[in-house]
Amino acid sequence: MKKEVAAMPYVSVPGMLRWGAGEFRDRLATTYKKDGRWQSLTYGQFYQRVLMAARGLRKLGVGPGDKVAILSENRVGWIIADLGILTARAISVPIYATNTPEQVAYVLEHSGARIVFVSTRLQYEKLMAVRERLPQLEMVIAFERFIGDRSLPVFHLYQLSEISHPISAEEQAELEAEIDRIGRDDLLTLIYTSGTTGAPKGVMLTHGNFLVDAWLGLDRLQGRDKQETFLSFLPLSHVLERTAGYYAALMSGSRIVFAESIDKVVENMVEVKPTAMVSVPRLFEKIYSRIYENVHLMSPPKRQLFHRAIEVGREYVYRRYVERRPAGLLRARYRFYDRLIFSKIRQKFGGNMRFFISGGAPLDKTINEFMWIIGIPTFEGYGLTETSPAITLNSLDQIRFGSVGRPLDLTEVKLAEDGELLVRGPQLMKGYYRNEQATAEAMKDGWLHTGDIARIDEEGYVYIVDRKKELIVTAGGKNIAPQPLENELKLDKYISQAFVYGDRKPYLVALITPNMERLIELGHQKNLDYFDVEELVANEKVRAVFAERIAQLNAKLPSYETIKKFVLLPRDFSVEGGELTPTLKLKRKVIYEKYRERIEALYDQNGQSANSKNQQGDRQ
């Protein structure tokens, strides 16, 4: 292993926290809102809270190899529970807070967890709804106070931790002796994949997997010694936030601030003024759309000024960061527009934002360029739950827009004959829990088969084309990646989300969800009478507008990639509706099954759909 990684002053995640409590004792480790007020814990205080939780778990008989689940949205209790579990040498099993009772039951049954940390009564009620399926479940530890059922007793985290009894020197020595017994190859967690297809698989990741991945990621971003304020809103149950926004943050002595909810992220940005965030593309898509909506409302001279600023900004970004040439007078022009326009946009992010990390799904190239232009570099990377997660990452020194960056140090990539990306490195999982067949299918000769089709340029930058299983093969034999088309559609001011379909079909079709604000505005502009959104999206004048927007995209595409027909839906895809994973990726099989009749009707050869006559692409 590379000398730098081998020189890490710790071999486990609890060992890393113990080291941090010594190095950064009085520095703020985490901030969260309680009873309407922001409160914080220093590294020293946070470490003591973790030791208290570990003490309580050990008294309950939790020990090496035991599975303990966490069913909660992001909050400080989540990371105290996680690190407490690990300090007791047990294995943490995170469960998405958005999971249904049946999904929760599957994870608990499969992992064999007998204790679960939950955030609220709502999560506890999910357990009670499937109680008969979970005979091994003994108790619940809650982050909020409520009374449970006798059949499944509930204790508060403070009760478990015996918060009024500080850790004694003897207790601390015993717990730290346990930390010293944790090896780099010891199992840290089971993360159950969100399951865009099939049943979730329990990915087995070690302490070394996470530590090396975080270490190498910080090295790529030159951030190992830089103190940041991370605003956390992505689910900690997902490996991206867990590594990049949690373990890597603690590794660098940074502060983790927990957003109150996903709906309050923008408000919390202004309040806490973060310097860094981890996100998925959906946030950037919404930011981009909202900014351009405001530009749309400007006077013509102001709109022209804005677009000129973007042109200058793009030229400056490419010259400085991509071509790495002196900016000369272009720097002064950029600074002029920065003071006039871009600095004001950055205030919407709190004013201190230095960078974003984007992962989980492809980020549209235009949107990524825009973030750099306004002065907030957004580093797109690529990875999987199975790789802890980062495999590749862009940075200030290594950036190619449209790519997911170069491989991290110690990480090898290559392409199979069919273009599938294969990966080998120290961040690879041990395998799938209790699923040797799936492990053997995914890992062959030390290489992980990612399931993604990619290309690698001569400089080593990796470009993800699409999921191997999601490539559309038309009846005419054309291979089409749906995600680039969907991303292009989502750039339109009237379109919120898109799903492109056409496997083994003569042409492509799409499900479109409208930007509701712009849709209602369109209804007012055209003086339309309607009872509800369903009636509005069915209006011929509205459909004609969307047909025209799609025709504009079709004009830029080869005929076999054009979208011939579409369905306009009255609501967004959502996690609650089952169409999205917790990290907001499309569940393609679920969407197809849910809207099968409407999709198949677009291929009815006996008659045209209502929108086909408005689609110029039908004649291509």
In tens, the pLDDT along 5-19 reads 777 999 999 999 999
Q: Which of 25-29, 212-216, 469-473, 491-495 has the lowest mean pLDDT?
A: 469-473
pLDDT for the residue numbered 282? 85
Is residue 351 within 8 A of residue 273, CB to CB? The reply is yes
Closest CA to 195 of 583, 480, 524: 583
C-alpha–C-alpha distance, residues 157 and 163, integer Å: 9
Both tokens of 513, joined, read: 């969800």
Distance, CA of 579 to chain centre: 16
Q: Max alpha carbon distance in the chain (Å)?
A: 81
Name residue 134's amino acid.
L
pLDDT for residue 372 is more than 60:
yes
pLDDT for residue 611 is more than 80:
no
Cα separations in angstroms, 262 against 234, 426, 432: 8, 33, 30
C-alpha–C-alpha distance, residues 129 and 99, integer Å: 13
Q: Which residue do the tokens 């499900």 mark?
A: 511
Is residue 403 within 8 A of residue 463, CB to CB? The reply is yes
Distance, CA of 316 to chain centre: 29
Is residue 281 within 8 A of residue 367, CB to CB? The reply is yes
Q: What is the pLDDT of residues 385-421, one digit of tens each?
A: 999 999 999 999 999 999 999 999 999 999 999 999 9
Name residue 606's amino acid.
N
pLDDT for the residue numbered 479? 82
Beta strands (DSSP E) in 457-609 are: 462-467, 472-473, 479-480, 495-501, 508-514, 563-568
Is residue 387 within 8 A of residue 428, CB to CB? The reply is yes
Average pLDDT estimate for 178-201: 88
Beta bridge partner(s), residue 231: 257, 277
C-alpha–C-alpha distance, residues 597 and 609, integer Å: 13
Closest CA to 517 of 497, 489, 495: 495
Euclidean distance between the first and the last CA atom of the chain, given in angstroms as a whole number: 56
Closest CA to 546 of 568, 524, 518: 568
Average pLDDT estimate for 169-175: 98
Is residue 311 within 8 A of residue 398, CB to CB? The reply is no
Distance, CA of 409 to chain centre: 23
What burial letters (b/e) apply to 376-413, b meaning 16+ CB within 10 Å? Answer: bbbbbbbbbbbbbbbbbbbbeebbbbbbbbbbbebbeb
- pTM of the entire predicted model: 0.87
pLDDT for the residue numbered 235? 94
Is residue 25 within 8 A of residue 42, CB to CB? The reply is yes
pLDDT for the residue numbered 261? 92
Those residues with Cβ within 8 angstroms of residue 317's Cβ, 6 or more apart along the chain or in another chain: 369, 372, 373
Is residue 580 within 8 A of residue 528, CB to CB? The reply is no
C-alpha–C-alpha distance, residues 439 and 424, integer Å: 14
Q: What are the residue ranges of helices labelled H in 398-511?
A: 436-442, 482-490
Q: What is the pLDDT of residues 461-511, one digit of tens each?
A: 999 998 888 889 888 888 898 988 999 999 999 999 999 999 889 999 999
pLDDT for the residue numbered 524? 87
Those residues with Cβ within 8 angstroms of residue 541's Cβ, 6 or more apart along the chain or in another chain: 526, 528
C-alpha–C-alpha distance, residues 105 and 122, integer Å: 15
pLDDT for the residue numbered 470? 87
Name residue 244's amino acid.
A
The CATH superfamily label for domain 471-619 reads: ANL, C-terminal domain (3.30.300.30)
Is residue 228 within 8 A of residue 453, CB to CB? The reply is no
Both tokens of 265, joined, read: 């992220």
C-alpha–C-alpha distance, residues 182 and 53, integer Å: 17
